[in-house]
Amino acid sequence: MKPSVWPVSETFAAEIGDLDLSQPLSEADWQMVEEAFRTYAVLVFPDQRISQQQHVDLALRFGPIDGSMVVDMTDAKSRIRADIADVSNLDWNGEIYAEDDRLRLFGHANRLWHTDSSFKKVPAKASLLFIRKIPPVGGHTEFADMRAAWDALPQARQKEIDGLVAMHSIAYSRQKMGFEMTAEENEVLPPVPQTLVRRHADSGRTSIYVASHAGEIDGMSEADGKALLAELLAFGTQRQFVYSHRWRANDLVIWDNRCTLHRGTTFDDKRWRRDAQRATVMDVAPTCEQEGIDAAAE
C-alpha cells in the first residue's frame, strides 16, 4: 500500500500513514518521505516498532549522525547506544531520575523554545525522536514554523535582520533555567556564531534562525541583542505558527531543525516515565558558511 500524507497543521506538519519503518524502505517510499520532509518540516509516523538499529539506519538516510554528548552520559550500564541521545527522564536502569539528578535538571531547559544543537558549530539538520513510553498527561512537544514566521515579518524588519549573526551557547539556555555548566563543559562548547536568517536549501524558502541558546548579537550591545532575540522568539512562536504534538506511545517524529523551533511541555516527571530517544542528523556546514557570511567572531 502507498504511504499516505495527512497534513495536521495549516502549513508545516503532517502525519505519514501506511508506512512500517521496521521494514526496509523501498526507493519510492524513501522519495515520498524526502518529499514530505521538504514540503513539511514536522513528520509524524504513528505506531512504529523500531529497534535502535532501525532508528539509526533511518537517521542515516538524512545524513551523518551527531553522536557527541553535551554532558557526560557514558556509562557501562547505559540502556541506549551511544549514537542515540537519551532524552527520557530515566536513569541507566530505567528508573525515574531522582529529584536532584544533574541530568534531570539539565533537561529542564528543553522546555524553552530551541532548535537542536544550534550551540554547536555545525548544528542539527534533522532530529528523529522516538517515544516508547509516554506520561498519561502532559509531556507534549510544540513546534513553531520559522519559515511562516519569516514570511509574516514586515519587510522592513526582514531587511534589518538579514545578515545578522547571533552567538549561541548551551550555557545561555541552561542559565535561564538556573543550571550551571561546569568549566570543562563550557570549554568544550564555547559560544558559536549562527546566522539569524537562513535560506532553506530544500525548499528555497527563508526562515528565522533563533533559539533560547542565542545570547547575543554580533556587533550589538548586549541589551540591544537580547531585546532583538526576545522579540524574534516571541514573534515566531505565536500560536498561528505553532503545532502542538500530543504523543502516542511508539510515535516517531522527524523535524527539520533548520526552519523550526520546538519545546517540551511539562509533565509530572517524578511520577511518570517518558522514554524518549533521539537520533540527531548533522547539517552540512556551519550556518554562516552556508549563507556566505564571514563570521570569525567568537
Note the residues at the interface with Fe ion (CB under 5 A): 116
Contact indicator for 194, 118 with CB cutoff of 8 Å:
yes
Q: Which one, of 264, 126, 261, lies nearest residue 207 by Cα?
A: 261
Contact indicator for 90, 134 with CB cutoff of 8 Å:
no
- Closest CB 73 distance from Fe ion, rounded Å: 15
Q: CA–CA separation, 151 vs 205, rounded Å?
A: 9
- Closest CB 144 distance from Fe ion, rounded Å: 12
Compute the chain's Rg from CA coordinates: 19
Nearer to Fe ion, 32 or 65 (CB): 65
Q: CA–CA separation, 259 vs 239, rounded Å?
A: 16
- Closest CB 110 distance from Fe ion, rounded Å: 5
Contact indicator for 50, 253 with CB cutoff of 8 Å:
no
Q: CA–CA separation, 63 vs 201, rounded Å?
A: 14
Nearer to Fe ion, 158 or 175 (CB): 175
Chain residue at closest Cβ approach to Fe ion: 116
Which helix H or strand E contains 33, and what residues bound it? Answer: helix 27-39
Nearer to Fe ion, 91 or 116 (CB): 116
Cell, residue 47: 505506531
Nearer to Fe ion, 116 or 251 (CB): 116
Nearer to Fe ion, 206 or 257 (CB): 257
